[in-house]
Structure 1
């Protein structure tokens, strides 16, 4: 008999993708879940635009207690959908080949080549199969990227990923007519942490953004994170900035 979860989890996704890392106990949960929805007549964005007839998808895991106080709301980013755990049934999985390839590219660009060289060098995925002698043999870095993509695809939705990408493409800071105008409107002290190895947020772009924010006198603190993970240094190396973060928030 499957042990009951000590809390209930609710995940939500709509036309936008919001992010929060899942609680660890959830990863082990693989029961059958049901996609549920509720309707909103309209939703007004921060930019003032109104979207009519909005459908919100949600799922719940575990059991709600009698006091109804053990629910944890997860508006997460990593799958771009409300499907964060479990499975919809025993009838097989939807096709994910294209999604896996997309997520493999995401993972590749989120890391720096220095990490790949140091972690894998030219190691083979299979010690018994030399890629220089067998066209179907693979290097360890290839297999690792495929494995990561497959794991993420199992919790992701291709259509939501497309909308997530488009949301990033069309976003304009400050919701104004230009990036410069949007950044100039920032008045609060700003902290920017970045990696010189970031292949997603180019360092020169980060520094230029800081210049635009502080052009009218706004205080900007700029600090680099050292590491070989590129964009992911913002996660794995964030402890380097713990004192800076603490001082900024106090």
Structure 2
């Protein structure tokens, strides 16, 4: 149990090990968009997404920074909702007065994505398969339109316009959010001065990433209770498949060095060896299983599937080629891979940076040191905080 508690805090990334620094309690707000026409030409009515802001927008509307969250993340990037919260948002170590994303200087916006995974979290507002279709009065299920990154950022664009934002000093995103940050620069080049792409997947999802996302989806698709997404009115939900899918995303987001350091070959219960019974497990098995079960309680299986599809479809600018997609970019780009990442390897950043440079786009790389794997982009972002501060000053 000791190992699980330590592990779960890191996986959820809802704690910061730095002092809570924001001066105010964060208020979750909701943005409503009456109609979204997707890239695929489908129409979605009554879009709702939650968002948070930190700092103040200046009169010119050009001191804003947008944060795009990771696959299983939310808009809760910094601060606390109540003084009694266990911990602040996932990037609180770099967001706040005097921090690299300085709220004395910048107006920072973070929104829940469409088809956000955490649809059962009371602090999350999103529109997706679990939402009620106003035309039928029933949940969309798999009739919800397939989305791509462009659809996510279009909603963010409408939100930013409603807030009076004219220009972003930077758009920052981590993991799946890096896709959105890069797409912002390609789709709205006159609005974006800089891109900070943390633990990024490159300029398009390669074959390895496409199949990895499919492996995440398969436990849900193979769960008989999924019933092709028609489970909202059933007492039997695809919980087992969702838990297994979340176990896969959890271990794939880590590194062997981290697993060995934290768990090694320790048993879940010291005197109960796995060789004695099928019921006895290693500590890492217990921790990963419980992490998946914990996350499944606030997640939705169909939303998970839609997110994996967005990952698979990604190519910058939704263009026919990467070279075509990057042409509009005017922003300076900073790639921030994690040195131990075995999900989105550091080589993805290096390849992407070289492509941008060859096409006359300013690009640089700084790595997050450590052995935590992909998750270091969440938990250890402060290690490159000064690099981020310097990049924003140029």
TM-score by length of 1: 0.69
Alpha-carbon shift at residue 235 of structure 1 (Å) = 1.1
2:362 aligns with 219
1:13-24 to 2 correspondences below 5 Å: none
- CA offsets per residue over residues 43-96 of structure 1, 9 Å max, x none? 134x5x53224354679xx9xxxxxxxxxx96258952532139xxxxx89451
Give the paired residue count. Answer: 198
| Partner secondary structure for residue 367 of structure 2 | strand
1:95-134 to 2 correspondences below 5 Å: 95-134=238-277
| Partner secondary structure for residue 370 of structure 2 | coil
Relative distance call for 1:167 and 1:146 in structure 2 (3 A) is same
Q: Do residues 157 (structure 1) and 157 (structure 2) align?
A: no
Q: Matches of 1:142 and 1:172 in 2, distance apart?
A: 35
Q: Do residues 43 (structure 1) and 80 (structure 2) align?
A: no
Alpha-carbon shift at residue 197 of structure 1 (Å) = 1.6
- Whether the 8 Å CA contact 1:190–1:219 is kept in 2: the answer is yes
| Partner secondary structure for residue 225 of structure 1 | coil
Q: Matches of 1:23 and 1:133 in 2, distance apart?
A: 37
Relative distance call for 1:76 and 1:52 in structure 2 (3 A) is closer
Relative distance call for 1:74 and 1:213 in structure 2 (3 A) is closer
1:52 aligns with 43
Q: Matches of 1:109 and 1:168 in 2, distance apart?
A: 15
| Partner secondary structure for residue 281 of structure 2 | coil
- Whether the 8 Å CA contact 1:197–1:228 is kept in 2: the answer is yes
Q: Do residues 168 (structure 1) and 311 (structure 2) align?
A: yes
Alpha-carbon shift at residue 181 of structure 1 (Å) = 2.2
1:206 aligns with 349
| Partner secondary structure for residue 123 of structure 1 | coil
- CA offsets per residue over residues 152-184 of structure 1, 9 Å max, x none? 101100001000100111121012101232234
The structure 1 residue matched to 2:375, chosen from 232, 236, 250, is 232
- Name stretches of at least 5 consecutive residues in structure 2 with no aligned partner: 1-12, 17-31, 51-80, 82-109, 124-234
| Partner secondary structure for residue 182 of structure 1 | helix
- Whether the 8 Å CA contact 2:49–2:112 is kept in 1: the answer is no
Alpha-carbon shift at residue 246 of structure 1 (Å) = 0.6
Q: Do residues 141 (structure 1) and 132 (structure 2) align?
A: no
Aligned-residue CA RMSD (Å): 3.1
Alpha-carbon shift at residue 128 of structure 1 (Å) = 2.3
- Whether the 8 Å CA contact 1:112–1:199 is kept in 2: the answer is yes
| Partner secondary structure for residue 54 of structure 1 | strand
Alpha-carbon shift at residue 203 of structure 1 (Å) = 1.8
- CA offsets per residue over residues 95-134 of structure 1, 9 Å max, x none? 5111000000000000001100110000000112111222
Q: Matches of 2:354 and 2:327 in 1, distance apart?
A: 10
- Name stretches of at least 5 consecutive residues in structure 1 with no aligned partner: 1-20, 25-37, 63-72, 87-91
Relative distance call for 1:55 and 1:93 in structure 2 (3 A) is farther
Q: Do residues 191 (structure 1) and 306 (structure 2) align?
A: no
- CA offsets per residue over residues 184-224 of structure 1, 9 Å max, x none? 43221101100222111122222101111111221111011
| Partner secondary structure for residue 111 of structure 1 | coil
Alpha-carbon shift at residue 248 of structure 1 (Å) = 1.2
- Asked which structure has the greater CA Rg, the reply is 1
| Partner secondary structure for residue 163 of structure 1 | helix
